[in-house]
Amino acid sequence: MPWLLVVPAVLGMAFLVLPLAGLLVRAPWSTLPWRLSEPQVLEALRLSLVTASMATAVCLVLGVPLAWLLARTDFPGRRLLRALVTVPLVLPPVVGGVALLLVLGRRGLIGQWLESAFGFSLPFTTAGVVVAEAFVAMPFLVIAVEGALRAADVRYEEAAATLGASRFTVFRRVTLPLVAPGVLAGAVLCWARALGEFGATITFAGNFPGRTQTMPLAVYLALETEPEAAIVLSLVLLAVSVVILVALRDRWVGAAA
Amino acid sequence: MTLRARIVVERPAFRLDLDLTVGRGEVVTLLGPNGAGKTTALRALAGLTPLTEGSIELDGVRIDREPAERRPVGVVFQDYLLFPHLSALDNVAFGPRCRGRSKAEARLLARELLDRMGLAEFASVRPRRLSGGQAQRVALARALAVEPRLLLLDEPLAALDAHTRLEIRSELRRRLSGFDGATVLVTHDPLDAMVLADRLVVIENGAVVQEGTPTEIARRPRTDYVARLVGLNLYRGEGDGDRVRVGDLAFAAEEHVTGPAFVAFAPRAVALYRARPDGSPRNLWEGRIDGVERHGDNVRVHVEGPVPVAADVTPAAVAELDLTPGRPIWVSVKAAETHAYPA
Among B194, B226, B258, the domain boundary falls at B226
Mean pLDDT, rounded, of chain B: 92
Q: pLDDT of A146-185, one tens digit each?
A: 999 999 999 999 999 999 999 999 999 999 999 999 999 8
Q: Shortest CA distance to A35 belongs to which of A195, A44, A20, A213?
A: A44
pLDDT of residue A254: 43
Are B207 and B315 contained in the same domain?
Answer: no
Report helix, strand or coil for A207.
coil
Q: Any idea what DSSP says for residue A147?
A: H
pLDDT of residue B1: 61
**Mean pLDDT, residues B204-231:** 92
Q: Check residues B234 and A253 and name the one with the higher pLDDT.
A: B234
Task: Give the Å distances, CA to CA, from A98 to A89, A92, A93, A123, A132.
Answer: 15, 10, 9, 11, 10
**Torsion sign across C-alpha atoms A61, A67, A72, A78:** positive
Are B81 and B112 contained in the same domain?
Answer: yes
Residue B186 CB contacts under 8 Å (≥ 6 apart), including other chains: B29, B30, B38, B39, B41, B42, B152, B153, B154, B155
Among B193, B226, B259, the domain boundary falls at B226
Q: Is the pLDDT at A252 greater than 60, yes or no?
A: no
Q: pLDDT of A54-72, one tens digit each?
A: 999 999 999 999 999 999 9
A15 within domain boundaries: no
Residue B78: pLDDT band (50, 70, 90) is: very high
Are B110 and B236 contained in the same domain?
Answer: no
Are B94 and B146 contained in the same domain?
Answer: yes
DSSP B147-190: --SEEEEESTTTTS-HHHHHHHHHHHHHHHHT--SEEEEEES-H
Q: Shortest CA distance to B213 belongs to which of B234, B194, B201, B199?
A: B199
- Burial call B92-129: b when 16+ CB within 10 Å, e when fewer: bbbbbbbbebeeeebbebbbebbeebebeebbeebbee
User: Which amino acid is located at B216 in the chain?
Assistant: E
Q: State which residues form the domain around B305.
A: 231-342
Q: Is the pLDDT at B135 greater than 60, yes or no?
A: yes
Q: pLDDT of A182-220, one tens digit each?
A: 999 899 989 999 999 999 999 999 999 889 999 999 999
Least CA distance to A163: which residue of chain B?
A: B95
Q: pLDDT of A16-37, one tens digit each?
A: 999 999 988 988 888 888 888 8
pLDDT of residue A232: 86
Rounded (to 5) percent helix, strand, coil in chain A: 80, 0, 20
pLDDT of residue A250: 64
Are B252 and B186 contained in the same domain?
Answer: no
pLDDT of residue B7: 96
Among B199, B226, B253, the domain boundary falls at B226
CA–CA separation, B49 vs A120, rounded Å?
50
| Chain A CB within 8 Å of residue B76 CB | no
Strand order in the sheet with B150-154: B61-62, B53-58, B3-11, B14-22, B207-212, B199-204, B27-31, B182-187, B150-154, B73-76
Are B182 and B301 contained in the same domain?
Answer: no
Are B183 and B301 contained in the same domain?
Answer: no
**A90, burial (CB in 10 Å: exposed 0-12, middle 13-18, buried 19+):** exposed
Cα B42 to the chain's mean position, in Å? 14
Q: pLDDT of B231-262, one tens digit each?
A: 899 999 999 888 899 988 989 888 989 999 99
A27 within domain boundaries: no
Are B214 and B237 contained in the same domain?
Answer: no
- The domain spanning residue B314 has which CATH number? 2.40.50.100
With CB atoms and an 8 Å threshold, state whether B83 touches A160. Answer: yes
Q: Check residues A85 and A250 and name the one with the higher pLDDT.
A: A85
Report helix, strand or coil for A166.
coil
A6 within domain boundaries: no
φ/ψ of B54, rounded to 5, equals 100, -170
CA–CA separation, A39 vs A18, rounded Å?
31
Q: Contact B41/B56 with Cβ under 8 angstroms?
A: no
A245 within domain boundaries: yes
In chain A, beta strands by DSSP E: none
- The domain spanning residue A249 has which CATH number? 1.10.3720.10
| Chain B CB within 8 Å of residue A220 CB | no
Q: State which residues form the domain around A202.
A: 37-256
Are B215 and B185 contained in the same domain?
Answer: yes
Are B254 and B269 contained in the same domain?
Answer: yes
- The domain spanning residue B150 has which CATH number? 3.40.50.300
pLDDT of residue A251: 60
Among A156, A162, A166, beta carbon nearest to B83? A156
**How many domains, chain B?**
2
Q: pLDDT of B99-133, one tens digit each?
A: 999 999 999 999 999 999 999 999 999 999 999 99
Are B253 and B197 contained in the same domain?
Answer: no
Residue A255: pLDDT band (50, 70, 90) is: very low
Q: Is the pLDDT at A257 greater than 80, yes or no?
A: no
Q: Is the pLDDT at A120 greater than 90, yes or no?
A: no
With CB atoms and an 8 Å threshold, state whether B81 touches A174. Answer: no
**How many domains, chain A?**
1
Q: Count of A–B CB contacts within 8 Å?
A: 60
Are B212 and B236 contained in the same domain?
Answer: no
With CB atoms and an 8 Å threshold, state whether B68 touches A155. Answer: no
